[in-house]
Amino acid sequence: MSVQPARRGGQLAKGGYPLAGQDIPPAATSTLSYRADIDGMRAVAVLLVLVFHFDLLWKGKAGFIGVDVFFVISGFLITAIVKKQLDEDVFSLRTFYLNRIRRLAPAFFSVLVLSFSVGVLWLFPADLIELSKQIFYSQAYLANFYYWKNVNYFGLNADNVYLLHTWSLAVEEQFYLLYPLALVLVHKYLKRYFWLMLALVLVLSFSLNVFFVKDKPEAVFYLLPTRAWELLAGGLACAVHGHLKLQRLANDFLGLAGFILVFSSVAFFTEEIRFPGFFALLPTLGAVCLLLSGACRETWSSRSLSCAPFVYIGKISYSLYLVHWPVNVFAKMALADGYTLQWRFAMFGLSLVFASIIYHAIENPFRHRRFLATDRRLAAGYFSGLGATALIFMLVLGTGGLPQRFPGKVLALAGHANDRMPLKPECEFVDKTSLVGKDFCLLGSAGKEPEWLIYGDSHAWAAYEVFDKWLKAKGQSGLFMFRNSCPPVRGVHLFRDKGRCFAFNQSIAGFLAANRSIRNVLMVSTWRQAIEARLSTSPDIKLGVKESVSLFEEKFADTLRYQNDLGIKVYIWEPLPGARRNVPVALARAALENQSTDIEITKIEYFATYGFFFDVLKKNRDLVTLSFSPSKALCGSGRCAVSIGDNPVYFDSSHIAKSSTDFWVDMMRRAELKSEK
């Protein structure tokens, strides 16, 4: 990301400004003089990202927009350099790619080695396997595809996305792999329409972004076809960069507009905005304005961005971007609830220190050919590194995460992270307006006519075997279906779920009305969606907590009345207490360090959290036949247990472990017996 003057014959070529280590031939330096303000722009971009990731300021919630600024800068510089070299007939794809390796690989390798080293010392086998996968995909510059497919409800979460930030590096590298080749072809066959072709591709990419951002938000965010327009916007800035002749006042205004656009995109971003979409025009155009304004060295924006601290941070911005996220993730894992604002500022500072060391000890020496000076040695070193990465990945995978690092008891506890039901996609709701019996999974005694319907969110899925065994013990059978995150409450939407939760509950209601053989319904959920402000009247509207809870109270009662009117008996699975952190990992860590762990929720905290739920349940008690109470089973001592004997109750922080099935079946049977007395 940062830029250094090019070397020529052992000396620094005056005015050279290579993009990410791209050495500019002498003929190319005539129009590309070093601009300190671009390093200043990099500083602004990377600081926005760090403030966002370390959660330092309440107005930094859209700091990810710094990545968009990086994209524009990269597109501007690479287009200027490659176009000039093509015009002078000195461009070489081989040299270009080797210089990309020289610029990116050394610092990247060093951060990956550091991350893996920490992982070997700290992570339990399943997590080390996950880290190894992320390193592998990052090295292949396919991280954006990996996270697009795996950052989901039952996939990766905030605790184990160790290299999430590398998605943007993958986008850039995919762009740099294809873009120079495309420029060569356009320059050779359509030279008269060079800039027009770039503009057409920009319009196509932007249109794809806008068209799909609502229905495919993850793909639009992570993938090159819907992000390329931001890099091309920087590229097209080159078309006017050398020809823009503005008066001093107009240049100052252009710089001011750039700052306003970039910072307003941070200040005015809300969760209801679909990003990138049209909103990404703000930081993109802002970065373009700053680039164009900075062409005149006398503008106030250029002078502001060229101040020494900004320039230095801009120079180390690539290393800083690389190292900050692993620092943040590992610090969060180690400190858990103690990861306070003071610690986050400390990790921010530590990231600056690490970045400075990597820049001076690794990034710069490689760039200036003090290490692996020849292209042959560089290529050999790079491919050796890739080979080593593949071997380490296979070793970790083949050994099951290097388990010999830990005692057997610790491994047994950590292994409960996999103590869960298979995902069971056959039981998950798909977008169907009309459900029939074959759309559901069957529970309980085979050959019996289903008289139960059990449905809910992921907590219903996690307890699938509990309900199956419970019904078998009763000699009854039932139908089962779940939808991740979706509470079994008719008439509510989940924010940003494209209406699927609403459709799920509507389809269930329609099925119950059409199938009167179902005489009992068990509704299962975490029941947290309301207090997390995720419930809404529309998937595109974000409600506050108070409004979300009020909506839940209204629609929960409506759902109970609807089912009662159909002559159905309603059973409720009350909220699970859960734990403060991932239970298997916390217990394994405590066993390893021979310490106690304080991850239990107290009974007081439980009822304070779920008071809204029990209030509405109490108001509608006459509509509920029986509610099953996990808190009565776990919180008798005043603290809600996280283990039964030596086994964790949960495979994460809130979903019940498969091995606890008998415990929960017993809880349900005892509750039934008590209600019959």
| pLDDT tens digits for range 259-268 | 999 999 999 9
Q: Are residues 436 and 399 in the same domain?
A: no
CB-CB contact of 636 with 630 (8 Å): no
User: Within this chain, do residues 265 and 333 fall inside the same structural domain, yes or no?
Assistant: yes
Contacts of 442 (CB under 8 A, 6+ apart): 450, 477, 478, 479, 480
- Asked whether residue 673 is assigned to any structural domain, the reply reads no
d(CA 89, CA 190): 16
Q: What is the pLDDT of residue 151?
A: 82
Domain total of the chain: 2
pLDDT at 57: 83
pLDDT for the residue 608 = 96
Residue 213 counted as domain residue: yes
**What is residue 60's predicted lDDT score, i.e. its pLDDT?**
59
Task: Give the model confidence (pLDDT) of 447-480 as tens digits.
Answer: 899 999 999 999 999 999 999 999 999 999 999 9
Q: Are 223 and 144 in contact (CB under 8 A)?
A: yes
Whole-angstrom distance, CA of residue 385 vs CA of residue 116: 14
Sheet architecture: strand order including 441-444? 441-444, 477-482, 452-456, 520-524, 569-573, 626-628
CB 624 within 8 A of CB 572: yes
Instruction: Give 615-636 pLDDT, tens digit per residue.
Output: 999 999 999 999 999 999 999 9
Reply yes or no on whether the pLDDT at 190 is more than 60: yes
Q: Are strands 643-644 and 647-648 parallel, antiparallel or unpaired?
A: antiparallel
Say if 377 falls within a structural domain: yes
Q: Is the pLDDT of residue 18 over 50?
A: no
Average pLDDT over residues 438-444: 95
180, burial (CB in 10 Å: exposed 0-12, middle 13-18, buried 19+): buried
Take residue 426 and report the two structure tokens written for it. 């056959």
**Domain-located, residue 589:** no
Place of tokens 């560089």: 378
Q: Rounded to an integer, what distance in angstroms lies between the CA atom of residue 45 and that of residue 169?
A: 14
590, two tokens: 């405590």
Whether residue 445 sits in one domain with residue 399: no
CB atoms within 10 A of CB 185: 11
- 394 and 518 in one domain? no
Q: How far from chain centre, in Å, is Cα 543?
A: 23
pLDDT attached to residue 155: 59
Residue 221 in this model has a pLDDT that exceeds 80: yes
Mean pLDDT of 209-218: 94
Q: Could you give the CA distance from residue 82 to residue 77 in angstroms, rounded to a whole number? A: 9
Q: 111: part of which helix (H) or strand (E)? A: helix 93-122
Nearest-5° angle of CA 221, CA 224, CA 227? 55
Enumerate the H helices of 268-374 as residue ranges.
281-293, 300-305, 308-315, 317-335, 341-358, 364-367
Tokens describing residue 130 = 């996950």
- Alpha-carbon distance of 430 to 661, in angstroms, equals 27
Q: Are residues 342 and 430 in the same domain?
A: no
Lowest mean pLDDT among 239-253, 275-289, 453-467, 543-557: 239-253
Report the C-alpha gap between 332 and 342 in whole angstroms: 13
Range with the lowest mean pLDDT among 82-96, 288-302, 486-500? 288-302
**Angle, helices 66-87/36-53, rounded to nearest 10 degrees:** 150
CB 24 within 8 A of CB 107: no
Please give the pLDDT value at position 596.
85
Burial class of 263 by CB neighbour count within 10 A (0 to 12, 13 to 18, 19+): middle
Domain identity same for 180 and 308: yes
Nearest to 657 by CA among 419, 461, 411: 419
Question: Looking at residues 503-526, what average pLDDT do you find?
Answer: 96
Enter the DSSP assignment of 362: I
Q: Determine the average pLDDT of the residues in 646-664.
A: 95
pLDDT band for 350, please (50, 70, 90 cuts): very high
SS3 sequence of 438-480: HHCEEEECCCCCCCEEEEECHHHHHCHHHHHHHHHHHCCEEEE
Mean pLDDT within 362-391: 93
Query: What does the mean pLDDT of the chain come to?
Result: 91
The Cα–Cα gap between 193 and 603 comes to 70
In a domain, 545, yes or no: yes
Residue 537 reports pLDDT greater than 90 = yes
Task: Tell me the pairing of strands 477-482 and 452-456.
Answer: parallel
The angle that helices 308-315 and 317-335 make with each other, rounded to 10 degrees, is 80
Q: Strand, coil or helix: what is 524?
A: strand
- H-type helices in 359-427, by residue range? 364-367, 375-399, 408-414
> Cα 242 to chain center, whole Å?
39
Is residue 74 very low, low, confident or very high in pLDDT (cuts 50, 70, 90)? Answer: very high
Instruction: Give the residue numbers spanning the domain of 314.
Output: 7-405
Give exposure, 624-662, as e/b (b: 16+ Cβ within 10 Å). bebbbbbbebbbeeebbbbbbeebbbbbbbbbbbbbbbe
Residues 447 and 387 both lie in one domain: no
Same domain, 395 and 458: no
What pLDDT is recorded for position 297?
67
Average pLDDT of 165-191? 95
Closest by CA position to 68, among listed 290, 239, 325: 290
658 in a structural domain: no
Predicted pLDDT at 16:
27
Q: Report residue 175 CA to chain centroid gap.
A: 21
In a domain, 245, yes or no: yes
337, 579 Cβ separation under 8 angstroms: no
pLDDT tens, 420-436?
999 899 999 998 888 99
Q: What is the pLDDT of residue 243?
A: 72
| pLDDT (0 to 100) of residue 271 | 87
Q: From CA 637, how far away is CA 304, in angstroms rounded?
A: 61
Q: Provide the percentage of residues in the chain whose pLDDT is more than 90.
A: 83
Q: Is the pLDDT at 25 greater than 70, yes or no?
A: no
Percent of the chain residues topping a pLDDT of 70: 93
Whether omega before 276 lies within 30 degrees of 0, making that bond cis, reads yes
CA pair distance 202, 210, nearest whole angstrom: 12
Q: Which amino acid makes up residue 112?
A: L
In a domain, 44, yes or no: yes
Q: Please report which confidence band the pLDDT of residue 566 belongs to, taking 50, 70 and 90 as the band edges.
A: very high
Is residue 495 over pLDDT 90?
yes
Confidence band (pLDDT; 50, 70, 90) for 159? low
d(CA 125, CA 399): 9
CA dihedral angle for residue 195, residue 197, residue 200, residue 202, rounded to 10 degrees: -70
Q: What are 35-49's pLDDT values in tens digits?
A: 899 999 999 999 999
Residue 336: predicted pLDDT: 87
CA–CA dist 441, 278 (Å, integer): 42
pLDDT for residue 156: 62
Claim to verify: residue 485 and residue 390 sit in the same structural domain: no
Angle at the Cα of 499 from the Cα atoms of 494 and 503, rounded to 5 degrees: 105
Q: Are residues 60 and 98 located together in one domain of the fold?
A: yes
CATH number at residue 567: 3.40.50
Quick one: which of 418, 395, 412 has its CA closest to 120? 395
* Residue 5 phi, psi dihedral angles, 5° rounding: -60, 145
Contact 494, 485 (CB under 8 A): yes
Q: Is the pLDDT of residue 353 over 50?
A: yes
- Spatial separation of the C-alpha atoms in residues 202 and 75, rounded to whole Å: 12
**Residues 395 and 443 both lie in one domain:** no
Segment 167-173 mean pLDDT: 96
- Do 466 and 399 lie in a common domain? no
Q: What pLDDT digit, counting tens, does each position of 387-397 carry? A: 999 999 999 99
